[in-house]
Amino acid sequence: MGILSSSASITRYRIVQDIPDDFLTEVPERLIKHKFRDIDHTADERSFGWTSFDDMLDMNWNSSTPHKGHYLAFALRLDTRRIPPAVLKKHLRLALDQARQELEAKGQKFISRDQKKEIKENVQIKLFAKTLPIPAVFDVVWDTSNNFIYLASTSPKIRELFLDLFNATFELHLEQRTAYFCALTGMDQGAKKQLDELEPVIYI
């Protein structure tokens, strides 16, 4: 669910380094440089990149700017092609049967491991070309007043993809705001040492 939904799963981050004063003016250009690329007319398995917060089809921010007051709002779009296992199994079987018939006609009795691998890859490419990618969009909100980032997902795979793309786009590193890092805020070294030495207690 998106950030503007009645309920949403959110992962919070904080930018760990200082940002130059003029950096925010570069954000639209950086987003477009790493924007989402459509794969509808390809056989690619997946594609990901930034798109508009207001319209997932607007990869150039023609209808609205990512600047929303002191916030920046954009979205991570991920399109993925998925082949149902039963479909892949069927077409792989058909391809292997055909390959065996062709090899037997040439006097070869068995299909080698490399040949099976190549046949499977070719079957997957053909099926990908016939399968429409499934789009998914994950909202991102950047509060520039405190450099907190909010991602509308808690999925480990999406978080990893987001962190890699964010770093490649903005050359900034993020720290996830877990309970531990929230507790560290405002602590001196003595209190931090005590926190690090805490051990969990099992009450059951």
Total residue count of the chain as it appears in this document: 204
Percentage of residues in the chain having pLDDT higher than 90 = 59
Q: What value does the mean pLDDT take over residues 141-170?
A: 96
Record the tokens describing residue 4, joined without a space.
């503007």
Residue 66's contacts (CB-CB under 8 Å, 6 or more residues apart) are 27, 28, 31, 52, 53, 72, 73, 74
pLDDT in tens, 168-178: 999 999 999 86
Place of tokens 């090899």: 103
Helix (H) and strand (E) counts for the chain?
Answer: 6, 7
Q: How many whole angstroms separate alpha carbon 149 and alpha carbon 185? A: 16
Joined together, the tokens standing for residue 73 give: 């709002």
Is the pLDDT reported for residue 60 higher than 90?
yes
